[in-house]
Amino acid sequence: MVRISFTPNLLRHVQTPADAVEGDSIGAALEAYFQLNPTARTYVLDDQGMVRKHIAIFLNRDMIPASQALATEVQEQDELYVAQALSGG
């Protein structure tokens, strides 16, 4: 199982409790999470299913570039953290 948790900044908009899901890649793990919590999907992924421009995904404290994140392999006990990248005004 892979553990996924989310920036608390999302809580103003959508409930995203941490959870443990199956999956051999970040994309697969996120997909498993969104099967359980479909409302959260569009907050993290865009219309084409890509990681949103201002979302950062950490794998065991390593930030994975958004363009590579979904295909990145994960192992049992890995931890994913979906963060809000710093931007805006």
Partner 1 sequence: MTRFLVGTRKGLFRVEKQGPGQWTIADSWFLGDPVPMVLAQKQGDDILACLDLGHFGNKMRRTRDGGVTWREEIAPAYPEQAEGVKEVDPVRGLEVPWSVKLLWSLAAGPDGTLWCGTIPGGLFRSEDDGATWSLVESLWYDERRKKWSGGGYDFAGIHSILIHPGNPQHITVGVSVGGVWQSQDGGASWEVIGEGLRAEYMPPEMAHDPEAQDPHVIVSCAAAPEQLWMQHHNGIFRSHDWGRTWTEFHDVKPAVFGFAVAVHPKDPETAWFVPAIKDEQRIPAEARPVVTRTQDGGKSFTILSEGLPEPPAYDLVFRHALDINGDGSVLAFGSTTGSLWISEDQGESWQVVSEHLPPIYCVCADQ
User: Helix (H, G, I), strand (E, B), or coil: what is residue 67?
Assistant: helix
User: Helix (H, G, I), strand (E, B), or coil: what is residue 72?
Assistant: coil
Going from the C-alpha of 6 to that of each of 15, 30, 33, the distances in angstroms are 10, 11, 11
Does 32 sit near partner 1 (CB under 8 A)?
no
Q: Which of 6/74 has CB closer to partner 1?
A: 6
| Residue position matching structure tokens 């969104």 | 34
Shortest approach of partner 1 to residue 42 CB, angstroms?
Answer: 6
Shortest approach of partner 1 to residue 83 CB, angstroms?
Answer: 10
Q: Which of 22/46 has CB closer to partner 1?
A: 46
Under 8 Å between Cβ of 75 and 62: no
Does 47 sit near partner 1 (CB under 8 A)?
yes
Q: Which of 78/83 has CB closer to partner 1?
A: 83
